[in-house]
């Protein structure tokens, strides 16, 4: 069964303290791995898509990497406005479905 596990469940950082969030996945064939950010009471906001092992993408203080079993979201010198829940999702290859399978997220709190 396709599955996504995110760790840690919650992370508290001081402003400027870099860290990484982990997303481990099991999928029959990976079409894509997606990272989203979700603020309280809002919908997920798209961040990155990664398609193959070794791929990396960056956006401001965020950098996403992908291996055959997991993805990391690296946060460099975070600011309080980076506080949010970060969601990882995979899309399996094959068939007509395009559904995303989500992990339960990592709740990040960045303190000034």
Partner 1 sequence: NAGVMQNPRHLVRRRGQEARLRCSPMKGHSHVYWYRQLPEEGLKFMVYLQKENIIDESGMPKERFSAEFPKEGPSILRIQQVVRGDSAAYFCASSLRTGGSSYNEQFFGPGTRLTVL
Can residue 103 be called a binding residue for partner 1 (CB under 8 A)?
yes
Can residue 89 be called a binding residue for partner 1 (CB under 8 A)?
yes
Three-state secondary structure readout of 48-102: EEECCCCCEEEECCEEEEECCCEEEEEECCCCHHHCEEEEEEEEECCCCCCCCEE
Candidate list 3, 20, 28, 104; residue touching partner 1; CB under 8 A: 104
Closest CA to 11 of 72, 100, 102, 59: 72
What is the closest distance, in whole angstroms, from the C-beta atom of residue 45 to partner 1 in the complex?
A: 7
Map residue 23 onto helix, strand or coil: strand
Can residue 102 be called a binding residue for partner 1 (CB under 8 A)?
yes
Q: How far apart are CA 17 and CA 100, in angstroms?
A: 31
- Identify which of residues 13 and 87 has a Cβ nearer to partner 1 in the complex: 87
Can residue 97 be called a binding residue for partner 1 (CB under 8 A)?
yes
- What's the DSSP call for residue 12? E
What is the closest distance, in whole angstroms, from the C-beta atom of residue 57 to partner 1 in the complex?
A: 11
Can residue 36 be called a binding residue for partner 1 (CB under 8 A)?
yes
For partner 1, the binding residues (CB under 8 A) are 31-32, 34, 36, 42-46, 49, 51, 87, 89, 91, 93, 96-105
């Amino acid at each position: 069964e396709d599955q996504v596990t995110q760790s840690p469940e919650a992370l508290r950082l001081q402003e400027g303290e870099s860290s990484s969030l982990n997303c481990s996945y099991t999928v029959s064939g990976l079409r894509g791995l997606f990272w989203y950010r979700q603020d309280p009471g809002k919908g997920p906001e798209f961040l990155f898509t990664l398609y193959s092992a070794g791929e990396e993408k960056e956006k401001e203080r965020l950098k996403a990497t992908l291996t055959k079993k997991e993805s990391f979201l690296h946060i460099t010198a975070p600011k309080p406005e980076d506080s949010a829940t970060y969601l990882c999702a995979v899309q399996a290859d094959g068939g007509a479905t395009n559904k995303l399978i989500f992990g339960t997220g990592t709740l990040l709190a960045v303190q000034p």
